[in-house]
Amino acid sequence: MSDKATVEKVCMIAGKIMLMSGAETHRVEDTMNRIAHSYGLKDAQSYATPTGINFSAGMTEINNFLRITKRPTNLHKIHEVNEISRQITGGELQLEDAYQCLKEVENKQAIYAPWLQVLAAALASGCFTIMFQGKWIDFLPALIAGGVGFAVMLGMDRLLEIRFLAEFIGAFFIGVSAYLLVDNGFGLEMDKVIIGGVMPLVPGLHITNAIRDLMAGHLLSGISKGIEATLTALAIGAGVSLIFTFV
């Protein structure tokens, strides 16, 4: 494998990890270009969208393309790639060492187990309910509803592999749980319980990335991420409202 081919693989792996972990497209392109420049590719060209990466060693070189289908949020992996990129630009990592470090990051499993994610989502739901001026008696119902909904969403996401549908079903279970708990005297304000319960599903990172990409001039990525965030919000709203059509 030639040095140029190795540099291309290093850049593609770095971009792949970052894009699949929820990074902004302009950050992905900047990281790939910095790595390429550090290893002597002065005219490297990179182009990223939410669903794919293009990279070439020069304006007239062969183009490398990688399709991205899954984009779970993993800020820890983004941080690790950023650290490796800084070491590369600082001249602290040889090409083969950088390739091995990135492969290790790529092969790492999720840093938090699903049960811990559900526990964190449940606790966050209760806290959000209090933050939105709910009563302390609503803390436990929101905790239960948020935990149930997030667990259902994770399970449906693995089963269906359609994120919007998984979030719709998760929000529906949040609505059902909130209704049953409040109706049986375990809470006072159903709206506060539901608001707190759905907060872990809200696409805050997608909205932030969409705005940052638009401000950086990446119009295609910014608009597509904005539409994705809007569809997610609609799925959550539809899932919650569905329960009220039956009661």
Give the least confident one: 101-110, 129-138, 173-182.
Answer: 101-110
> Which one-letter amino acid corresponds to residue 64?
N
22 contacts: CB under 8 Å, gap ≥ 6: 71, 72, 73, 74, 75, 78, 205, 209
Indicate the pLDDT class of residue 247, thresholds 50, 70 and 90. Answer: low
Residues 132 and 56 placed together within one structural domain of the fold: no
DSSP state of 57: S
Q: Average pLDDT, whole number, for the chain?
A: 89
Q: Is the same domain home to 160 and 79?
A: no
Residue 125 shares a structural domain with residue 68? no
pLDDT above 50: residue 58: yes
Same domain for 125 and 237, yes or no, is yes
Average pLDDT over residues 56-74: 84
Task: Evaluate if residue 81 carries a pLDDT over 90.
Answer: yes
Q: Which is more confidently placed, 2 or 36?
A: 36
Does residue 127 have a pLDDT over 90? yes
Check whether residue 121 and residue 184 sit in a common domain. yes
Q: Which domain holds residue 181?
A: 114-243
Beta strand 52-56 with 45-49 is: antiparallel
What's the pLDDT at 72?
Answer: 79
Domain total of the chain? 2
| Average pLDDT, integer, range 167-183 | 93
What share of the chain in percent tops pLDDT 90? 49
- In tens, the pLDDT along 203-221 reads 888 888 889 888 888 888 8
What does the DSSP 8-state code read for residue 135?
A: -
Whether 122 shows a pLDDT value over 80: the answer reads yes
**Cβ(181)–Cβ(144) under 8 Å?**
yes
- Tell whether 151 and 87 lie within a shared domain: no
Judgement on whether residues 122 and 99 belong to the same structural domain of the protein: no
93 and 129 assigned to the same domain: no
CB 16 within 8 A of CB 69: no
Q: Looking at residue 1, what is its pLDDT? A: 41
Domain end: 82, 107, 132, which one?
107
